[in-house]
Structure 1
Amino acid sequence: MRNPFKREKPAPGGRRQRLGVVQRAERLTPEMVRVVFGGEDLADFTVEHADSYVKLIFPLEGVAYDEPFDVAAIRDSRPRTEWPVQRTYTIRSVADGEVTIDFVVHGDEGFAGPWAAGAQPGDTLWIMGPGGAYSPSPEAPWHLLVGDASALPAISASLEHVPAGKVAVAVVEVHGPAEELPLASPGDLRLHWVHRGEPDPEGLVEFLRGLDLPAGAPHAFLHGEADTVRAVRRFARTDLGVPRELLSASGYWRRGRTEEGWREEKRDWNAATESDDATAGV
C-alpha cells in the first residue's frame, strides 16, 4: 500500500500533515500490530503528553486527489464521499526520529487495522498531529488507569511517566491471556488483566470495587469503550472522589458503531457524563 502522493505543505492550525514511512512492523499479539514510522518528515516530531495522539489519513481507493496531497484543501473542495478516511491513534513512543504506533487488528474489519496488518517497510501514510492533554501528575497520591485493548497503547505509554514511588493501579480488559503485553513503570505498578469477550461496564465496576485500592483520590485515566468508560467514570467520581482536574476520561469507540457514527454521538455522550456528575452531586 504505497502512497503515490508528493510532499505536502503544512496544514492550517499548527498541526503539520507529515508523510510517515514504515521502517518495520511486527505482530505483538494476535490482535495487536506495532508499526514504526520514520522518514525526513518525522525527523523533528516531538510530543508533550503521555497520551499524545495523531490522526492517520487513508486516501480512498479509486479517488484521484490533486498533488500535493492536502487534507484541508480536499475537505474544502470535494464532496464528503471523497474525503480521505481519518483514524485517531495514540503514539506509543517517539525516539530518534521514529514514531511507534500500536494498532488493534480485527481481521479485515475497518481501514487502519487491515492496513497495519499488511504494512511493509517503505509503505507510507499521512500523519497529522500530535494532540494530547494527559500526563500523570507527580502531585497525585496515586494513579488509576483503566481501559481495554484500544487504550492499551495509551496506558502503556502513560505508565512509563508515573513518578518513581507512586502507586499505579492498571486494569486492562482484553479477550484473553494471548492479548496481554508486558507493561512497566517507574512507579509501583499493580497490574490487573480482565479477560472478557465483550464489554461489561457494570462487571468492570464491580471488579474495581473488589480491589484493595490506596487511600485518597487518584489521578484517573479512563479510556476505551464508551459505555464502559462512562460507568467507570461514575465510580471514579462518586466512590473514589476523583475531582475533575485529576480526571481524563474518553470513549475511544462504542460497541455497535463505526468510528464515524461514534463521532456523531460523542457530544451527546459528553453531555450524559456531565449529567452523571450533576445527579451524583459531584
Structure 2
Amino acid sequence: MSDTQPQAPAGPPARKRTPRHATVSAVRRVTPHLVRVTIAGPELAAVAPTGHTDTYVKLVLGELADGRPLLRAYTVRARRDAGDTVSGEAEWDLDVVVHGDEGVGGPWATRAQPGDPVTFLGPGAGYAPDPEAPWHLLVGDDAALPAIAAALEALPAGAVAHVVVEVPGPEDELPLDSAAHVTLTWVHRDRAGGGLAGAVRAAHAAGELPAGAPHVFLHGEAGMVRDLRRWVRAELAVPRELLSASGYWRRGSDDEDWRARKGEWKAAVEQDDAALVG
C-alpha cells in the first residue's frame, strides 16, 4: 500500500457494556427441559422497560481462554416491579432450556440456588408485535418459546396469531395465554413431518393461514430460520420491516463457534434478499 493512499475512516468506538448485578431469588422446573430462574435486586428496578417483548440479557457465566466473558443470552420472560413482589425487590424471570449436562446455560440453571450472585449485560431488544398488523406468524423452537409467550401476552383482543413451536416432546408443551385469537401447533422434535418449516408450509398449503402479509417472528436453529425466512419472504410477500428472524444456535456448532460464524450467516441472508429483488 502506498504511503499516500487515503486510509479508511476509523469506525465508531466499541460500545462499552456495563455489567449489572442481581441475585437468584427462585428456581423452578417449568417443564422437563425448561428451568425458570428468577433474579432480583435494586439494579433491576433502575432498568427502564424496553417496550419490546423480545427483551434479552446476556448472562456472564464464566471466562473464555482469551479473557473475554463467557456470555449466554436469555429472554426476560416476565418482569415485576418491587411493589408487586413478596421480596419487595424488582424481579425478572429467565427461562433456560436444559438438555442434561450439555452446554453452559442449562447446567448453570440446573445448579442455581437462591442467593447466588448473577452478573449480566443489557438488556437488549429487537421485536414487539405490531398491533396494527393484519395477522401474526410466530415460529420458533424451545429456545424461542419465552419470547413467543411474551409476544402472545402482549397481543390485544381481536388480533390473529398463528404459532408453531418445536419442543422435545408433549411433556414440554406449555399453556400460552393471549387475548388474541391464537392457532397453536406444537411440533415434537425428531418426529416425522418436516419440523417447523414443514408445519408452516403444510398450514399454508391447507389454506389455514390468513390472507395478507403477517408480522413475522422467526427465531431458532439457524438453518431452519434461513430456510423459512426465504419462504415467508417469497410465498407470503413479507417485507423486511415486518420480519424479525434470527438464528439463536446452529446444529453441529457450539455457541462460541456459532458466534464466530454468525456474520457468514447474516451475509447469506442478505444474498437471499438480493436474489428476491433480482
TM range (shorter): 0.7 to 0.9
Matched, 1:51 2:54: yes
* Equivalent in 251, 274, 277 of residue 273 of structure 2: 277
Using the TM superposition, give the Cα deviation of residue 163 of structure 1 relative to its aligned residue in structure 2, in angstroms: 2.3
What aligned pairs does 1:88-127 form with structure 2 within 5 A after superposition? Answer: 88-96=73-81, 97-127=90-120
CA separation of 1:208/1:15 partners in 2, compared to 1, >3 Å: closer, same or farther? Answer: farther
Residue 208 of structure 1: how far off its partner (Å): 4.1
Q: Structure 1 length normalisation: TM-score? A: 0.84
Aligned-pair CA distance for 1:204 = 4.1
* Aligned equivalents of 2:54, 2:205: Cα separation in 1: 27
Contact 2:29 2:35 in 1 (8 A): yes
Please list every run of 5 or more consecutive structure 1 residues that lacks an aligned counterpart in the other structure: 1-11, 61-78
Moved more, 249-258 or 186-195: 186-195
Which residue is 1:73 aligned to? Answer: none
Structure 1 position 13, deviation (Å): 4.2
Using a 3 Å threshold, how does the CA distance of structure 1 residues 200 and 171 change in structure 2: closer, same or farther? Answer: closer
Summarize the alignment of residues 116-155 of structure 1 with structure 2, pairs less than 5 Å apart.
116-155=109-148
Preserved CA contact (<8 Å) 1:37 1:98 = yes
**How far apart in 1 are the matches of 2:239 and 2:276?**
13
Specify the SS of the correspondent of 1:268.
Answer: helix
Which of 68, 82, 91 is the matching residue for 2:67? Answer: 82
Q: What's the secondary structure of 2:269's corresponding residue? A: helix
Structure 1 residue 120: Cα displacement: 1.0
Is 1:20–1:42's contact at 8 Å kept on the other side of the alignment? yes
Q: 1:188/1:238 Cα in 2 relative to 1: closer, same or farther (>3 Å)? A: same
1:20 aligned partner: 22
Using the alignment, how far apart are the partners of 1:224 and 1:215 within structure 2? Answer: 25
Q: Kindly indicate whether the alpha-carbon contact (under 8 Å) linking 1:201 and 1:231 is maintained by their aligned counterparts in 2.
A: no
Deviations along 1:53-90, one digit per CA (max 9) or x if unpaired, are 11100124xxxxxxxxxxxxxxxxxx853333111111
Structure 2 matches for 1:241-256, cutoff 5 A?
Answer: 241-256=237-252
In structure 2, distance between residues paired with 1:268 and 1:200 = 24
Q: 1:54 to 1:121 in 2, by over 3 A?
A: same
- Tell me, what secondary structure is at the counterpart of 2:27? strand
- Please state how far the C-alpha of 1:109 moved relative to its aligned partner: 1.2
Correspondent of 1:203 among 198, 206, 222: 198
Q: Which residue of 1 aligns with 2:229?
A: 233
CA shift for structure 1 position 205: 4.7
Change (3 A) 1:202 1:169: closer
* Count of aligned pairs: 253
Amino acid aligned to 2:53: A
Q: CA deviation at 1:168?
A: 0.9
Q: How far did residue 270 of structure 1 move?
A: 1.0
Question: What is the aligned partner in structure 1 of residue 4 from structure 2?
Answer: none
Question: Is 1:216 aligned to residue 209 of structure 2?
Answer: no
**Bigger CA drift: 218-227 or 79-88?**
79-88
- Asked if 2 retains the 8 angstrom alpha-carbon contact of 1:54 and 1:129, the reply is yes
Which one is further off, 34-43 or 201-210? 201-210
One-letter amino acid of the structure 1 residue matched with residue 150 of structure 2: A
Corresponding residue to 2:260 among 255, 259, 264: 264
Q: Distance in 1 between matches of 2:48 and 2:203?
A: 35
Q: Secondary structure at the match of 1:82?
A: coil
Deviation, structure 1 residue 44:
2.0
Question: Closer, same or farther in 2 for the Cα pair 1:210/1:28, shift >3 Å?
Answer: farther
TM-score (norm 2): 0.85
Percent pairwise identity: 53
SS where residue 132 of structure 2 aligns?
Answer: coil
Post-superposition shift, 1:195?
1.2
1:173 equivalent to 2:169? Answer: no
3-state SS of paired residue (1:150) = coil
